Structure 1
Amino acid sequence: MSELEQRWRDLGEFIREQRHIGHLSLRKLSEMAGVSNPYLSQIERGLRKPSAEILQQIARALEISSETLYVRAGILEERPDEADLVGEIRRDPWIDEGQKRTLIQIYESFRAAVGPRPVRTDEGDDHEISDDDGSTTPESVGAAEG
């Protein structure tokens, strides 16, 4: 089996797993996603290569990120864990400073609600790293280790 065929099979298995986690029948998910039952079945078995639009419809129905399916399908490359969303918001030329502050506050409140996430060190151990306010960020890794 080629690498591409394996990727489609893995994507289909992932969609099936997500459907099971959501307690959805194949028929129900196909209705929610707006695709035919046989077509969704073929996607789950890795026999069909769905378009980005179909993947978006499936992701929406499963209530997961369409980016997750795009990465699994090879449409997008996986982002590194060190993504700097706050930096990207601050660099955006299309929104004003007040809007940037509001977006950053909302984002940080969501992150704080999730709680600290383990950060892998070079030794292979997982450590929770937190800032002065108790939130965990990748930026605090260097400060905690240094």
Structure 2
Amino acid sequence: MPDDLPPVGNVLGSFIRAQRQMANLSLRELSALTQVSNPYLSQIERGLSEPSARVLKSIAEALNVSAEALFFQAGLISEPQQRECEATEAALRADSRLTDDQKKALLTVYRTYLRTNGY
């Protein structure tokens, strides 16, 4: 790995921290939402631990980001799949004709279909 690229854990941890901060959540609040311990979340954010897929899914749901985005940051899926998922989710979030609850419901259904199809 080139010296100018941070380790995957640091990229993932930084991404999770940024998403948590944008959601105005403390580590304790995120811990309560994910049922993942506060110290473990801190280790993930600092790049000291590599979370399982289950933990990543839990964090994604709590932060209202796609699990695919976290899987990409963790190096578990390739960029094209992640870009396609992000574009679809961004389109759903941007549709001003839908209420926030409708957007959340559609995102949940979309993510469920992707998981069912193995993505």
- CA deviations on 1:8-46 (whole Å, 9 max, x unpaired) are 111001100100000000000011011000000000000
What's 2:64 paired with? 63
Distance in 2 (CA, whole Å) between partners of 1:2 and 1:15 is: 23
> Comparing both structures, which one devotes a greater share of its residues to helix?
2
What's 1:21 paired with? 22
Residue correspondence of structure 1 range 1-146 to structure 2 within 5 A? 6-79=7-80, 110=92, 113=95
Aligned residue for 2:76, secondary structure, equals coil
Any stretches of 5+ residues in structure 2 without a counterpart?
A: 97-119
The alpha-carbon distance between structure 1 residues 40 and 82, as it changes in their structure 2 partners (threshold 3 A), is: closer
The alpha-carbon distance between structure 1 residues 5 and 27, as it changes in their structure 2 partners (threshold 3 A), is: same
Distance in 1 (CA, whole Å) between partners of 2:60 and 2:82 is: 21
**Percentage of pairs with the same residue:** 49
What's 1:117 paired with? none
TM norm structure 1: 0.53
The letter for the 2-side match of 1:32 is L
Distance in 1 (CA, whole Å) between partners of 2:83 and 2:43 is: 36
Q: Which has the higher contact order (CA 8 A, sep 6+)?
A: 2
Shift of 1:5: 6.7
Provide the alpha-carbon RMSD of the alignment: 3.1
> Comparing both structures, which one devotes a greater share of its residues to strand?
1
The letter for the 2-side match of 1:59 is A
Q: Please say which structure displays the higher CA radius of gyration.
A: 1
Any stretches of 5+ residues in structure 1 without a counterpart?
A: 84-106, 115-146
* Contact 1:5 1:46 (8 Å CA) reproduced: no
Aligned residue for 1:9, secondary structure, equals helix
TM norm structure 2: 0.65
What's 1:134 paired with? none
Q: Which runs of 4+ in 1 moved over 2 A?
A: 1-5, 80-83, 109-114
